[in-house]
Structure 1
Amino acid sequence: MKSILATLPLVALLSSAASAQSLEGQAYPATLDAQVVLPSNTIQTAPEDAPDHVRQAGKFTTPDRRRTVTLGAVPGMDGKRPTNVGLPLEGQAVQGFSGIRAMPDGTFWTLSDNGFGSKSNSSDAMLMIYRVGFDWNAGALTQRQTVFLSDPNKVAPFPITLEGTTTRYLTGADFDIESLQPVEDGFWVGEEFGPYLLHFDREGRLTSVHATRVGETEIRSPDHPALSLPADPTKPLPTFNLKRSGGFEGLAQSPDGLRVYGLLEGPVYKDGIAEKTADGRTALRIVEFDTAKREWTGRSWLYPLSENGVAIGDFNLLDDTTALVIERDNGAGRVAQACSGEPDAACFAAPAKLKRVYKIEMNEANAGQAVRKIGYIDLLDIRDPTGKARQGTENGRYDMPFVTIENVDRIDENHIVVGNDNNYPFSAGRALDRADDNEFVRLEVGDFLRAR
């Protein structure tokens, strides 16, 4: 059969390719300047005043949530591949880095996510914000400060897991924290179960909880605490308009600190149809919040996903109108090791094909419409000609074939930091049979940062 492409004029094909390129912006090179690796099985103890329930983490990670207290008895699995570590742990995992902010003193604020991937299995995973330092020369991460999040003043609009305790520490069954912005009086944190925008003071105490609104529409995920199944199977199911794990994966702050901007990981749905831009691309909402009034302003933008993109990983503003966004697919592992038949332990079932950092423009002119994608760097093709990476470089090229890459921010006028969320102990994208470490890289991308 004659190819359909063969019947199209060459001009039409070139025009289509150029149009697709213009929608995604220009590709820019990136060079690895340094790498820090934190081993996957890094563990810390719970605070002395925490209840016994959180002395071990991961006790409820079997499919039926049956309590397991034998250390390592539940194997970590990435599909059909064991990841060589297991649950529960004696202590709390230092993992799941999901959002980062570079500070003027050279340190970085980052945070854990909900624990082990769902509300149902993370009631013993403590929620933490970290201040970390990177020794780029030694390739080491140092925890300068760990802030354990809590709700001593009963601000959460629902009973928390540790409701009856004196310290009322928060866990991954209460909130799924995914993004943050440090501010003078504490931290703004983006969350996915509600989704909610949360504020904590500098001691990690919850001070406010804000339901998400896009215009007049309240956004709810299937994990929203107000939703429950009906007792009568003939009754309609509760309604929600955001997929599970589709909440605030990105949270950015305006340079003057007067606004924060939450970027949803998944599209908002109406009548079962995902929101799209005017030209038909699936889109995610960026919503604006007034930090002084502590309310949504009603302004928002659409972030259009690329053809193979399914989610975003992090979001930080560079100035008043431009920002960095990580966009990704759901793949993990290198294409060269992809399964040719049925998935098994010796191959990657769905290898990584799209892992990018985009630079976007969002301003008054495109408010309510699609942001402009100025350009991007490819995280699967980073130059490392002198072999500075401690792991991940082959033939002068470094890659990040992780399912979730959830940390990006500018360090200076020429460099950004990028890091993965290793989903300990369930993700193995760097190697077929080993849980991913936490990798942070400093990338030289001056041309990309200056692109307009």
Structure 2
Amino acid sequence: MRLGLALLACTIAAPVAPAALAEEVFPSRLAGHAVLPAFTMIPPPADAPRDLWLSGRFTGAARNDAPMSVEGDTGPAYGSHKTGIALPFLGQPVQGMSGFAMNRAEDGSWFTLTDNGFGTKANSPDAMLFLHRMQPDFVAGTVERLETVFLRDPDRKVPFRIANETTESRYLTGADFDPESIQYLDGEIWIGDEFGPYILRVAMDGRVLSVHPTMLEGRALAGPDTPGVSVPAQPGRDFRVQRSGGYEGMALQPGTGLLWAMLEKPLLGDDGQPEGDFLRVMTFDTGKADWTGDSYRFKLSEGATAIGDFNFIDETRALVIERDNGEGDAARACPEGEADLSACYPLPARVKRVVLVDTASPDAEGYLRRIGHVDLLDIADPDGKALPDLSPEEGSFTFPFFTIEDVARVDDSHIMLANDNNLPFSGGRRIGAAADNEFILLSVPELLAAQ
């Protein structure tokens, strides 16, 4: 999720290798395209506090209680393009798809979730947290929301004060957690959070069953938004997890019950700088409800700054979304030195990939083997599957969104992806319009067969 209007754009990537990693690039073909419109709202539950009927009141410099009064924009780093949708919202926005569960529901629908709301802990106390069952229809080009489950803590399992602490219903908000990854196992939901970072075990009715802090090499990891971290704090000493650097991907390994939890960004060293051009991956045993003590590393390729999702496709191989902080079609990049950014992208998408990794053969330093990738900025569309007005005027189909945060295997030939649209702060597809929640079906048999 974008941190406010432009904060994440200022994130400095860790040093990377001088040359791109040598790995095979596999072709991809667009097999389906569906959209959940950006402006899709739902009402809170009947027992929710009344103030949650208005969301996004705290995204500006001052509280704003006037519905639909301030139009969103992409922020100065992205050209300050207006998005055509104004805050605060009446109701709760179904935006920001931030993870697909590997296992589907019995009816074949997909578990996914909305992230923390508006990008930061401070600006999201009126954004409710929820997960969904959704079913894209790639023939009709639509996405049906079959069910929404709101997260709550009636049994007081959360080990810190929540925003709705004194209410009877105790619904969770974006001031409590930033849910970014989801898995479904044996009738329960497991969620990876960015703020702690924590792993949450959740019942199918949305009740939190347990909350697990992250342990690495015998120490609890923390970030600047972890409860108990005092400000001022020294990066690298008081906390090692970067802001918006907790769990963005959390894969469930088939047959083992192990969650492979991957941080979005590199950890900080004692000097407060990124420890390297790699991301930490820790394994959590759902049966024992504890960390195994094993950890691995995912090496970022040149130009990549973060990952967006992580899901197994079999017992050992998994898909990882790798991305930069860019947004928008590079064909419409602003010329160097251009002062008028209203009709171009000053920071266009350059690195958007789905990487296939092998978890069974880490090297001596724990690095997962990168097998190959597909380029999400170079997708063939010979059958014209792209929806009208949502593809470049010429050239390959692209998925040029700032945050692409959902990937899963559909069958032996296809994978499905979706974006987090950061409503109302991201464009990416059309200048002057908020990004929709787009779902794409890709035919990638060569990638899925690669060893």
TM over 0.5, shorter chain: yes
Give yes or no for the alignment of 1:69 onto 2:65.
yes
Q: Whole-Å Cα distance in 1 between the matches of residues 412 and 48 of structure 2?
A: 42
Deviation at 1:27, TM superposition (A): 0.3
Change (3 A) 1:24 1:54: farther
Highest CA radius of gyration, 1 or 2? 1
Structure 1 residues not aligned, in runs of 5+:
1-18, 277-281
Contact 2:19 2:302 in 1 (8 A): no
Deviation at 1:204, TM superposition (A): 0.8
Deviation at 1:257, TM superposition (A): 4.3
Please say which of residues 67-76 and 291-300 is displaced more in the overlay.
67-76
SS at structure 2 position matched to 1:98: strand
- Alignment partner, residue 313 of structure 2: 318
Mapping of residues 121-270 of structure 1, within 5 Å: 121-229=123-231, 239-270=238-269
Change (3 A) 1:343 1:229: farther
Whichever residue aligns with residue 31 of structure 1, its letter is R
Deviation per residue, 1:92-138 (Å, 9 max, x gap): 00100000125264311000000000001100000010001111111
Mapping of residues 326-365 of structure 1, within 5 Å: 326-340=321-335, 341-342=338-339, 344-363=341-360, 365=362
Give yes or no for the alignment of 1:42 onto 2:37.
no
Contact 1:46 1:92 in 2 (8 A): yes
Deviation at 1:385, TM superposition (A): 1.1
Change (3 A) 1:24 1:200: farther
Runs of 4+ in 1 over 3 A off after TM superposition: 235-238, 364-368, 393-396
Change (3 A) 1:442 1:216: same
SS at structure 1 position matched to 2:170: coil
Q: Whole-Å Cα distance in 1 between the matches of residues 214 and 334 of structure 2?
A: 41
- Alignment partner, residue 301 of structure 1: 296
Change (3 A) 1:150 1:368: farther
SS at structure 2 position matched to 1:53: helix
Q: Whole-Å Cα distance in 2 between the matches of residues 183 and 189 of structure 1?
A: 11
- Alignment partner, residue 278 of structure 2: 283
Mapping of residues 55-134 of structure 1, within 5 Å: 55-62=53-60, 64=61, 66-79=62-75, 80-102=80-102, 103=104, 105-134=107-136
Whichever residue aligns with residue 55 of structure 1, its letter is W
Contact 1:343 1:349 in 2 (8 A): no
Deviation at 1:74, TM superposition (A): 2.0
Deviation at 1:342, TM superposition (A): 3.4
Q: Whole-Å Cα distance in 2 between the matches of residues 364 and 36 of structure 1?
A: 36
Q: Whole-Å Cα distance in 2 between the matches of residues 26 and 204 of structure 1?
A: 42
Contact 2:296 2:362 in 1 (8 A): no
Deviation per residue, 1:61-100 (Å, 9 max, x gap): 11x2x22121121221102111111100100001000001
Whichever residue aligns with residue 71 of structure 2, its letter is P
- Alignment partner, residue 52 of structure 2: 54
Deviation per residue, 1:422-450 (Å, 9 max, x gap): 00000011011100001001100001100
Q: Whole-Å Cα distance in 1 between the matches of residues 48 and 256 of structure 2?
A: 34
Give the root-mean-square deviation of aligned CA atoms: 1.7
Change (3 A) 1:343 1:192: farther
Please say which of residues 363-372 and 166-175 is displaced more in the overlay.
363-372
Deviation at 1:393, TM superposition (A): 4.5
Change (3 A) 1:89 1:378: same
Q: Which has the higher contact order (CA 8 A, sep 6+)?
A: 2
Q: Whole-Å Cα distance in 1 between the matches of residues 234 and 432 of structure 2?
A: 44
- Alignment partner, residue 11 of structure 2: none
Give yes or no for the alignment of 1:28 onto 2:26.
yes
Deviation at 1:187, TM superposition (A): 0.6
Q: 1:373 aligns with which of 370, 393, 398?
A: 370
SS at structure 2 position matched to 1:274: coil
Deviation at 1:369, TM superposition (A): 1.4
Deviation per residue, 1:258-296 (Å, 9 max, x gap): 2111010011111123233xxxxx000110001111111
Please say which of residues 286-295 and 235-244 is displaced more in the overlay.
235-244
Q: Whole-Å Cα distance in 2 between the matches of residues 367 and 127 of structure 1?
A: 40
Contact 2:362 2:369 in 1 (8 A): no
- Alignment partner, residue 13 of structure 1: none
Contact 1:385 1:396 in 2 (8 A): no
Q: Whole-Å Cα distance in 1 between the matches of residues 213 and 88 of structure 2?
A: 33
Q: Whole-Å Cα distance in 2 between the matches of residues 116 and 199 of structure 1?
A: 23
Q: Whole-Å Cα distance in 1 between the matches of residues 299 and 30 of structure 2?
A: 28
Change (3 A) 1:387 1:298: same
Structure 2 residues not aligned, in runs of 5+:
1-17
Q: Whole-Å Cα distance in 1 between the matches of residues 420 and 122 of structure 2?
A: 20
Task: Using structure 1 for the length normalisation, give the TM-score.
Answer: 0.90
- Alignment partner, residue 10 of structure 1: none
